[in-house]
Structure 1
Amino acid sequence: MYQVFLDEHVLYIPGDDEAVLIDPVLELALGKSGTFSARVPKINPLYEKLKALDSTVRVERDGVALFYGRILSVERDFYGTKSITCEGELAYLLDSVQEPSEFHDISLRAFLETLIAKHNNQMAKDGAHNKRFTVGQVTVTDPNDSLYRYTNWETTLDAITDKLVKRLGGFLRVRHVGEVRYLDYLAESDNTNTQVIEFGENLLDYTDTLLAEDIATRVIPLGKRLETSSIAALEEYTTIKSVNGGKTYVESASAIQNFGIVTKTVSFENISVPANLKKKAEKYIKDSQFADVTLTLTAVDLHLVHADMEAMKIGDRIRVISPPHGMDRFFPLTELTIALDHPESSTVVLGTEVKAGLSERSISEKKELVERIERLPTQSDTLRLAKDNATALITAATTGHVVTRKNEILIMDTADKNTAKKVWRWNVNGLGYSKTGYNGYYGTAITMNGAIVADYITTGTLNADLIRAGTLKDRAGNISWNMSTGALSAKRLSVDSPNFKLTTYGHLTAKGADIDGSIVASSGDTKVRLGYGKLSIYYQNKELGLVGGNGFAGSNTIAGLNFDLERTGDYMTWAAQPTGGGSYEMVWTYARSSFGNFSGGMLNAGCDIDMHYNRLRNVSWPDGAINGAFHFVKINAMSSDGTVASWSNGCRMRFKNGILIEATF
């Protein structure tokens, strides 16, 4: 039974003579504020107490609140009946503004807590106008857990939506525990409903966005690429032929009856075991291919018929079975429309698309670049935030099923281990959590051999005899130390301190320090490695050459600076950019092999060579190689002291292809 309360007084009870509402409709949407609308006749005792933006409204089903909000508008018609429109309390976050600020190196939860704290400081603490929130569960994650964000006079809801939800996904949920109003930020629903919507059973009517041409009734899965191929010119992949009776495909017989054979090739490039590949294909044909489908349903909520059956709630994961489509998958319940006086006509929307609601009515569309105003402290209490989040997650758990089997204890989102998606499994071998089902992958575990497996571990102090790591990185991502290759990278380097120091902002400082090993810097396809007394240059992972010091062969005293071209390098060049700008021109080039207009095994000049009257010694002129004229002076007479007495200018010898064709004296 549905009831509506106005400021804790009864506004509507089905069948009551006075607490009457006409066409009361509740519309809820995942991550949105939701709305409630109705017409209130004069006979209702609370008729005169309806006040816009002042009166609070609560809608309950069997004593459980589905909606909290405030009256947004009150309109009176010709007959005196008032029409009210209410918006959900998520819209309270539209009533506060975030001043210009910069957030740097801050965790996701800390950022959300800061925004909510600023909202709360602008709201009343007590009474009917208390619009404060407490940050509850936060299950959305950021890869680095280190955000860089600005705020600039937008509403708090706009800030949360734009800076978090649109960029990281997930959805917002308002939840009440006693007098506390929690704001949760969830990556996915935390409840799987026990009801099943099955075509031909409790489904009355539906529309969907699924087109026949989008459906694959037969799937050929291709796994990991094989090292060898039966056709030399083609790549070959793992198939299911060996575990599927010689067939390379799986199919849905019921879907074929409706749509015929529609074959699709699907790649699972990391799977090399045929049996696992077959399971993936079977899941795809009845589940994964429907991931983008949005269903609008008129379905019987079996809770109306069986009070002990779980009622459908916004955000629940609902199992939908459709034999005509070969479909059997869970969809999130993203929209729910309930006519309180005719609940049997309720409609639900399952899928990923959610329409905008009233809570978005004043969100700014302005996306201009915000200016830096003030820098907030970047230090966050990582351990405290982790404890707060763990406490919020565990204490807020109000759903789930505990199943005791012969040899283990299960805590799941459904009572059936075959349909459960989230599973805690505890047996003699350990305790583990899977988000892919009972037979899925247990990525969080404590096993009997003393091993702890987890994606994230937050602790105050870590004592260990041995730490094995792939990469060590600071929270902001400025410093990265690859423990496998030994590469240490930092965003900024400086040498201005007597002590060696590497800070969390990426500064490396040293004075009088020796580097035993190498430092690598890269940009695009080019990489430079400095270490072991030489500077090595790479391009597209190919070593081209090096600059370093060396001694002359057979001598310990003659040392020099070497510019070496490795055998993997094709050429060495001196190049210059023209004074007018543009591409660099190769003016002096050694080519290992001929390419373009460059001769292999030679120095190729790209400009004139001025000897400045210096001698060119030991020159060998190959046959046919001399072209042009040689200009010289002819001595006509010499003085007794050996000086030139007279001479003739304009003398020359002109050659063509090594042949003297003209001589002028």
Structure 2
Amino acid sequence: MYYITADGTHMHVPGAEERQIVNPMLSEKLDQIDSFTFDIHPNHPMYDALVQMRTQIRIYQDHDPIWEGRVIDNDDESDKTRSIVCEGEMGYLIDSIQQPYDEDFVLIEFLEFLIDNHNRQVDGWKQFKLGNVYVEEEDDADTARTSNDYQTTKAALDNVRTKYGGHFVVRKSDGVRYLDYIKEYTHVSTQPITFGRNLLKVTKSSKGTDIKTALIPLGKAIGNERITIEDVNDGKNYLVNEEAAKLYGLIWGTAFFDDVEDENELLAKGKETLTEVSKPKHTIQATAVDMSLLDRSIDEFKIGYKVPMLSKPHGIDDTFQVTEITRPLFEPDKFEVTLGGETDKISGTVVSGQVEAKQYTNEKVSIISGGSGGYLILDPPGDRPERLLIMDDPNKDKAVNVIQINKNGIGFSRNGINGPYENAWTIDGNLVADFIRAAKLQAGTIGGWIINDNAIYSDFVFDDGTTVYRVYIQRFMEKSLTDSWVFSVQKSSDGGENFGGIMYIRGDGLIVAPAGIFDRIDVGGPGVSIFNSGITCGANTAYPDTVLSIMGSGIARDNFSVYGTFYAAKGSIASSDRALKTNIKELDSTESEEFLMHLKPVEYVYKDDPGTVRHGFVAQDVKEAMAGRTWGVYENVELKQPLDAKGNPQKSKVVASVRYDEIIADLVKVVQSQNDRITVLESEVKALGKN
């Protein structure tokens, strides 16, 4: 199931009628920029919200993100349907330019140089961070990097890949977009591509111009000459594959080994190379279906994966790389993966050109199972047999897997002709089975649960016989719920004629109670109450004796009001990280001293706590001492009031307040200033004594 968002807003939600897109197609190619296309109708709420080169699109499969990119084309069709074209994250590297440079870098430094240049030119959401680099240069590689061109960052990286090989791969981790540079993809898929099962077509080609039957190996250059094999090869500087030469004739070629100085090593490498180039290399292009779409336990195909391929009609038994994946998201039966690569493991008579697997329907190919066909027997033989048997052996006594069809129905046995037949479909429509595996159950009843296209539900009758509770997993209980499926409990007090909703658990995880269904829910007795307008734990007139307890770690965001004493057994901590602050400057000692000198320390009692005399300040006096300065020491705070017994919020009130902790900074500044003056005075007094 696929969910698609645009700039974080749901654009496609399965089952949500107003949030549907049409014909979504995700195309991925090895070492190229991915593309995603779809159509959107005028009645879609995001029809006018998709901005070219700006709107970010994300695709989720079962809520896991699988692709990200941006809109690049937005074209209107004749019926006002818009065709949208998107490109993958690698396309962001086209938005920046690498200017001419002449620098000395090792490979990793050069890649960081290119990515840093890119990041300085683009918005944050298009930036990359260099990730893992598994491609290495030779030890004596020239680290000079020179370019006289103005080229995109993508083009510059493609030049690197052309020179050193490997692949650039985008990877996301903890919200950071990394660009990895890998030498090769190493994962081998556990899902093979097999003729008669998931192989659709094969294209085979080979180039005779690539064949060489005679080879001159050349080693390291010394001056104007290179090391050859003459001294260790009977005076000949070449090698000939006699068997291949008889078949193809003499076809000459050279092979350079710049790092080889030893003649015997050069001879060995030359022979090894000649063996490879003297036989034809077949290039295979295969298209197949990804069976993991039908069974999630099967290893899925991904770009770059190595996949074993077996096709006896084509004489192929080798491993190839996934080079392209085409995904029509709403038509999984049309998903295709394309493999490419060279092989010399082709044997027997090979069928040339494109071959559709469906053409092969002889007894050795079964599209259903991928194995050999069975034996059809009329039992007993004659004009009026009692049954038709389909078996894995022509002998009834030896057959193990048996399908029996007679006038009463169809039975399936894995235990021979006499059964037992664990699975059967009788003529009256009953299906008897140990298990059912199906892509879709259209309608039916299982154990009292009703199943149809739109819901799975069952009724539970209360003791009085008239109250019925219905438990639903249903599509679109309420129009206001935009998720495709919701879990709900409904109640009927007229024996099941009419139902009213009690509670919904939506597809996005929210628990919703429709307005008017309840006034208050008590959790764990009368101590905790959940109202439509909030949650209260004893902080109302209904339950004055209960308290709020938070066990373990907790987070309170925004303002947190405490009516009473806030007690911290081991002190409190206020965040003061420099990274959280700006416009930092030292306090002015004169201003701080003037502020402190105008403060009016007082003693007082709170009206709701008349038994305790307290020391402190009056907020209005503190504001006056600030003398018009806009400091945060004083603030008018809006206090949210507790819920009343019916769960209604009481009217908020504003109280003048003081941040006592901020006065500490002024106290410290004044003490420091006074200490400096005391030090000066002490020095002057000592000087007077000496005189």
- TM surpasses 0.5: no
- Interval containing the TM-score (normalised by the shorter chain): 0.3 to 0.5
TM-score calculated relative to the size of structure 2: 0.40
Which is helix-richer, 1 or 2?
2
Q: More relative contact order in 1 or in 2 (CA 8 Å, sep 6+)?
A: 1
Which is strand-richer, 1 or 2?
1
TM-score calculated relative to the size of structure 1: 0.41
